Amino acid sequence: MVNEVSMLKPTTTNPAINPVLTEALTASVNSKTTSLLALLKSASRELSHITFANSFGAEDMVLSDIILKNKLAIEIFSLDTGRLPTETYDLIALVESHYQTKLNVYFPKNGTVEFYVKNNGINAFYESIELRKSCCFMRKVEPLQRALAGKNAWITGMRAAQATTRASLPTREFDDANQLEKFNPLSDWTEQEVWAYIRMHDVPYNKLHEQFYPSIGCAPCTRAIAMGEDVRAGRWWWEDPLNKECGLHVKN
């Protein structure tokens, strides 16, 4: 498994994160940014106690930049699964320094992780979908539930074009699983527009993106992708694409 992943890692910089900033692309990004900011301002006026789940991917960095630069009344939190790549930890530190802020970080419960590893093994998630989803639940879903406790709404960086599981992604929906409003303000953004915003506003980003990691999660469950592959192909790559969700965004 490790050898397979390492062989897929390219040695050149990913050209996808360096879009040509044409007049049309710049205008599109500016227009969508204006609409996004209006949506977030409206949401924060309508609903108190809104929080944003920042996983430090490119999309989440766009939202973090907009929220922090405009001093919106929206909390930002992150989930530290205990198995994140070093580059993600480096970005967490950089974000706090760059924006002069402190993030709320939630961790999995020690006892649950210890029980799982003792009974199933340190990398049991490779063995079955059930064990992988159990790992995702204890490291992501349960901490998310604690992060959302007492909140009226949460915001994600999901885009409709990211995966077949997200093809019909509304800008706003009711999250039945967590019983609160959910906003996906980047739903109609393209990958090119995300990176154009990052370049236009000099936003910090995860350096793994330069190594063909368009989607970044836990280190053991994320690999680089080949040119032409789906942007989510590197997440849980050993599974069927229809199963590629960790449980954070799965509807009841």
Neighbour-count burial for 81-113, b at 16+ CB within 10 Å, e otherwise: bebbbebbeebbeebeeebeeebeebebeeeeb
CA distance 234 to 134: 20
Of 136, 218, 221, 246, the active-site residue reads 246
- 246 counts as catalytic: yes
CB 243 within 8 A of CB 251: no
For residue 134, give Cα distances in angstroms to 78, 94, 113, 141, 246. Answer: 20, 31, 10, 10, 9
Q: What are phi and psi of 197, to 5 degrees?
A: -60, -45
Q: Which residues are catalytic?
A: 246
